[in-house]
A = this chain, B = another copy of it.
Amino acid sequence: MTEKKILTPSLEHYLRTIHELEKEKGYARVTDVADKLKVAKPAVSNALKKLIANKLVDHKIYESIFLTKKGEEQAINVSGKFSILVNFLIEILGIDEEKAFLDACLIEHYISPTSLNRFLDLLRFFESKENSELLELFKKYQRDCESDDNCPTCSFHCEVSTNEEYRLT
CB-based contact B160/A84 at 8 Å: yes
If the complex has contacts A77-B162, A141-B128, are A156 and B112 also in contact, measured as CB distance less than 8 A?
A: no
Query: How many chain A residues have a CB neighbour from B under 8 Å?
Result: 59
Bound form: Cα–Cα A166–B107 in Å: 12
Residues on B with beta carbons closer than 8 Å to the beta carbon of A102: 112
Chain B residue at smallest Cβ distance from A166: B112
Q: Mark A13-50, 1 if CB is under 8 A from B, else 0.
A: 00000000000000000000000000000000000000
Known: A76-B159, A121-B142, A121-B145. 12 other contacts (CB 8 A): A2-B162, A4-B163, A6-B167, A77-B162, A80-B160, A93-B119, A93-B121, A99-B114, A103-B111, A107-B111, A121-B138, A124-B153
Contacting residue for A121 out of B89, B117, B153, CB 8 A: B153
Q: What distance in Å separates the Cβ of A22 from its nearest Cβ neighbour in chain B?
A: 18
Contacts of A88-106 to chain B: CB distance below 8 A: 89, 92-95, 99-100, 102-103, 106
> What is the interface of chain A, defined by CB distance below 8 A to chain B?
2-4, 6, 8-9, 73-74, 76-77, 80-81, 84, 89, 92-95, 99-100, 102-103, 106-107, 110-122, 124-125, 128, 131, 137-138, 141-142, 145, 152-153, 156-157, 159-167
Say whether chain A's binding surface is mostly helix, strand, loop, or mixed.
Answer: helix
